[in-house]
């Protein structure tokens, strides 16, 4: 009986040990499986973190590049406006002072943008607002410059047109003046009083007081000058001053009574003078120059006739020596 009990007990122990062994094996297998799952989960999390970090880093780089590009664009816009101001200022219009002030603002703003080391979206937004304000002012001033240039061009064209018209009118006026002067000269020439038949005769006085002609120098007591004022219907009528200038062979004016004014403004000594009333018809004039002082000498005596200061005629008187004083 005991033997049977012992046999059953031994079988029970074997079975129990076998069950515990199987249970432990199962526990170890379960634990190993859980570790694998945990490792896989940790690897998935690690890759997720790495991917997220890489993604965020790329986004940051793109954001930084975008902000930097916007900064460079703002600087480029400011530089373009600065160049436009330089061109407008060089044209030296009445807006040059205002343009210079605005250019200074742009230069100062551009320098502040360049000096900015770090830029963010808020700063970028503020700079864009300032840029928009400067661009609006730039467009307004440049529009005013263009309008002023257009007005100046119109004024220049009008000035050139007026200058051209004035040149034409001046040329026309000069032509008229020249024509009028020529006409006046012709009228003056046509209206001048001319003389003809200028005769000069040496005279000696007889014992009875009458004069007879002679050609002897020593016997000449007077010189008679005759001339005719020629008819001229367009000449000015009225009293005319007639002068004669008689010179001896040495060129000295004989019996100079005074001086008279020539038409060229100079003065000349005269030998005799008379006033005649000219009525546009032929008028004969006779003047007698009596000897005073020393007797005449042999030679040529030129005589010129002037009317109202203008030389109108002349002649020569030749006197010879007397033969044996006769």
Residues 6+ apart with CB under 8 A from 133: none
Ranges of beta strands (E only) in the chain are 195-205, 211-214, 222-229, 238-246, 258-261, 267-270, 272-278, 283-290, 299-307, 310-319
Task: Let me know: does 287 contact 274? Beta carbons within 8 Å.
Answer: yes
**In the 3-class helix/strand/coil scheme, how is 219-241 assigned residue by residue?**
CCCEEEEEEEECCCCCCCCEEEE
Please indicate, yes or no, if residue 238 is contained in any of the structural domains: yes
How confident is the prediction along the chain (326 residues), in pLDDT tens digits per residue?
556 656 666 666 666 666 666 666 666 666 666 777 878 877 777 777 776 665 555 655 776 777 778 778 888 888 888 888 788 787 766 777 877 888 788 888 788 777 776 667 777 778 788 778 878 887 887 787 777 777 777 877 878 888 888 788 878 877 877 776 765 564 556 668 888 899 999 999 998 989 999 999 999 999 999 999 999 988 889 999 999 999 999 999 999 999 999 989 999 999 999 999 999 999 999 999 998 878 899 999 999 999 999 999 999 999 998 765 55
Please indicate, yes or no, if residue 240 is contained in any of the structural domains: yes
Please indicate, yes or no, if residue 215 is contained in any of the structural domains: yes
Please indicate, yes or no, if residue 278 is contained in any of the structural domains: yes
Please indicate, yes or no, if residue 226 is contained in any of the structural domains: yes
Range of the domain at 266: 195-319
User: What's the pLDDT score for residue 30?
Assistant: 66
Please indicate, yes or no, if residue 126 is contained in any of the structural domains: no
Domain with residue 239: its CATH number is 2.60.40.2560
Please indicate, yes or no, if residue 324 is contained in any of the structural domains: no
Please indicate, yes or no, if residue 298 is contained in any of the structural domains: yes
What's the number of domains the chain is made of? 1
Cβ-based neighbour number of residue 222 at 10 Å: 14
Question: Quick one: tokens of 77?
Answer: 């816009």
């Amino acid at each position: 009986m005991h033997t049977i009990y012992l046999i059953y007990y031994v079988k029970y122990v074997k079975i129990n040990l076998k069950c515990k062994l199987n249970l432990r094996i199962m526990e170890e297998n379960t634990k190993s499986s859980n570790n694998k799952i945990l490792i896989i989960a940790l690897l998935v999390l690690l890759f997720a973190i790495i991917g997220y970090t890489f993604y965020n880093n790329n986004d940051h780089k793109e954001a930084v590049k975008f902000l930097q590009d916007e900064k460079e664009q703002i600087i480029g816009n400011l530089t373009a406006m600065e160049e436009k101001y330089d061109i407008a200022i060089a044209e030296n219009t009445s807006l040059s002072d205002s343009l210079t002030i605005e250019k200074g603002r742009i230069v100062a703003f551009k320098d502040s943008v360049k000096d900015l080391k770090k830029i963010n979206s808020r700063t970028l937004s503020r700079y864009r607002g300032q840029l928009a304000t400067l661009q609006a002012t730039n467009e307004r001033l440049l529009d005013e410059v263009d309008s002023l240039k257009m007005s100046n061009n119109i004024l220049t064209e009008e000035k050139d047109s007026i200058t051209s018209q004035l040149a034409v009118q001046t040329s026309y006026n000069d032509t008229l003046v020249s024509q009028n002067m020529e006409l006046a000269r012709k009228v003056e020439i046509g209206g001048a009083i001319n003389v003809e038949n200028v005769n000069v005769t040496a005279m000696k006085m007889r014992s009875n007081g009458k004069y007879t002609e002679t050609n002897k120098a020593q016997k000449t007591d007077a010189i008679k000058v005759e001339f005719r004022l020629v008819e001229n219907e367009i000449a000015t009528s009225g009293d005319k001053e007639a002068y004669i200038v008689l010179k001896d062979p040495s060129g000295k004016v004989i019996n100079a009574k005074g001086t008279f004014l020539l038409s060229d403004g100079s003065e000349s000594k005269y030998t005799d003078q008379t006033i005649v009333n000219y009525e546009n018809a032929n008028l004969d004039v006779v003047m007698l120059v009596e000897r005073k002082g020393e007797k005449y000498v042999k030679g040529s005596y030129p005589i010129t006739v002037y009317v109202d200061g203008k030389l109108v005629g002349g002649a020569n008187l030749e006197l010879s020596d007397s033969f044996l004083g006769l």
